[in-house]
Chain A
Amino acid sequence: MKVIRLISLSTFLFIICLFENYLNTFISLDFGVYLFLISLLYIGTELFNQNFVIPIFLTGILYDSFFSTYYLGLYTSIFLVVVVLSNFLVTRYRRSNVIYITTFSICLLIYKIPIILEFDLDYWLTGYITSIIVNSLIFISLKRALRNNV
């Protein structure tokens, strides 16, 4: 049962990751909709526990193997760091929209670190700021919607 849950969770996360990439291939504007990052943040802030480590690890390994030209394990560690950092920030400070947006900004920086290190500030800054606004809105709305449903 535990194995099935792990496999289904990993598959679900990988599908979200795939969907995010597909979505951003369609969007030709200077921002991205990072559904997978939002999911990681949701896991980090709301559902954090050790059962998520292996699914996130497996998703990262699959992403690194199939869709990335970087070394195996790079995106895996990025995904795990995002979850740990988001949980750390939200538990350490008061839960408010400002903290969520700050957390999202820092996590997006980490998420996009391969691009940030390779390219100049003027390449990614506008897209980064727009992405923060768009994705934070999605994240906060999603949190409210899920809380209301519960």
Chain B
Amino acid sequence: MQNTQIVGIRKYVVYFLFIFLSGLLSAVDYFSNKTLSNFIPKQVNLISNFQIPDRLLQNEFSSLSSSRADLVAENIRLKEELSNLRVLYVENQELQDNIESYDLLIKNISDFELTYYATSLILKNSTDEYLISGGRDYNFEPGDLVINEKGYVVGYLGEVFNDYSILESFNSTTFNFRALDKDNNIFEVNSNGKELIFSSLESTLNSKVGMLYSDITFGHLNKFPLFDLEPYEQTELNNKITVIVPIEEMLTFQSKLFIPKSK
């Protein structure tokens, strides 16, 4: 009986050792300001390495059986042509989508002195943060704003790796943002996952709050609209305003995202 109990505990020893090792890694990472967790992503271009090779898309393997009859050769040539055309069609669709989203963006932004890098969603991690394409290869930096095709802020970059970045969006656990209204009142924006909570930091408000904007005073590149608070109920306590806005729009693979950078 005692023996089986010892065996029962012993089988976990290696697991506990590795859990301890993980804890140790976390502690080292914490005290080294994330140097350890950024080491591997700095060495590897993860997203670029996962791209499907063109030869697979073009179905080159089909040419192996093309040697005898002309008809068979012609058939294969046509098949290859068809697959090439399909690749071109997909490329064409992507380019058209890009043009459309850039068109929309151009209509909605006022500052053309900036370069707008198109980015797209890669996946959502376990803590509801989004991985988006583009990282140090485009000189992105943590804190860079991410806007949609309407020119509205949808989040900011939390971490930047070689060829991808982590977007802190409205439903991210650590979303924290500062914005100004038209009267230059400062608002702090936090998220509880389902709602955005806008709280004014000053007590001089005397009118209803309208549109909020990002601002260079908070290290943002330019003034981009964030949210129009006018349609929402605004509660006032000690001359400070709090507005709670439900998060309705989620990012999808179809979402068009841009990162503005100075030229």
A residues with a Cβ closer than 8 A to B are: 18, 21-22, 24-26, 28, 48-50, 53-54, 56-57, 60-62, 64-77, 80-81, 83-84, 87-88, 91, 111-112, 114-115, 118-120, 122-124
Contact = CB atoms under 8 A, between A and B. Distances in A.
Contacts of B194: 122-123
Given A65-B39, A115-B128, A118-B174, 10 more contacts: A56-B18, A65-B40, A67-B125, A69-B174, A71-B26, A71-B30, A72-B37, A77-B22, A84-B15, A119-B192
Interface stretch (B6-14, B64-72, B81-89, B206-214): B6-14
A73 B252 contact: no
Contacts, number: 124
B136 interface: no
Interface residues of B, number: 46
B34 interface: yes
Chain B at the A interface: SS class: mixed
Contacts of B41: 65-66
B139 interface: no
B124 A21 contact: yes
B37 A65 contact: yes
Given A66-B46, A68-B127, A114-B127, A76 B14 contact: no
Interface string B11-30: 11011101101111110111
B192 A120 contact: yes
Contacts of A65: 37, 39-41
